Amino acid sequence: MSTAATLLAATGSLEPAARSFLSPTGQEIVFLLVGIAVLGSAVVAVTTKQLVHAALWLVVALGGLAVEFLLLTAEFIAWVQVLIYLGSVVVLVLFGLMLTKAPIGRSPDADSKNRWVALAVALASAGTLVTLVVDAFRTSWIDLGAGGGSAAVTGASLFRNWVLPFEALSVLLLAALVGAIVLSRGSKRRVPAPRAGKLRPGRPVGSNGTVAATAPRAEAPAAASAASAASAAPAAPAAPAAPAASEES
């Protein structure tokens, strides 16, 4: 028996030791620290009342997610995260804030009355996702190869095994886009018709139904002075009546 066969026979029956959660590696520690930073920045992004600060904290959260994908050897997804979300979505948000002249400081409009409802939905969603992940993987570990996060492997897995969730997500994004367009248009306000009895000549009605004040006309002082001069002048004597012609003539 050769030396290689002897070593294989000696070590073939040995099972790999189970990995313990009490001895994490350096990569796992970095993963947890980055996850805490992502969670904190996301919470600040949705709770702050300054819109520009919220956009900047969103940059931190999305950048942290890209780092998490890199730690999971998903380089393609990490670069997609950087190019699409950090390179386009956040820039679009910042340009939207600048073009709409949003306030730089604290804005009372940024506070929502449905904060507790949003918190309940977020906690329920997080609990559901954690339950599904723990139930699916338990304590098993999956060692990915060097090409596990490449574009070829990701595309093949996405369009072969996960076609239905991919299409459902596209429909959800389309619904969100249509809803954003509808909400941004707003409702058309009907201007109530002004009452004819309360209008005065020379005072136009504004777009909100109120009567706008107008400056006096330029010829108004001249007309007033002419009227006062006419009233102050003495009346001319009446002309004598012509004698009536006799019936005989």
Domain boundaries, the chain: 25-105, 150-178
CATH number of 25-105: 1.20.120.1200
In three-state secondary structure terms, 166 is helix
Rounded CA separation 111/47 (Å): 8
Per the prediction, the chain carries an average pLDDT of 72
pTM of the model: 0.54
Which of the two residues, 153 and 123, has the higher pLDDT score? 123
Instruction: Please report which confidence band the pLDDT of residue 37 belongs to, taking 50, 70 and 90 as the band edges.
Output: very high
What is the distance between the alpha carbons of residues 11 and 205, in angstroms, rounded to a whole number? Answer: 94
Predicted pLDDT at 112: 63
pLDDT (average), residues 209-221: 49
Q: Which residues contact 104 (CB under 8 A, 6 or more apart)?
A: 50, 52
- Give the mean pLDDT of 17-34: 74
pLDDT score at 67: 93
pLDDT at position 246 is: 46
Cβ count within 10 A of residue 122: 13
pLDDT value of residue 36:
94
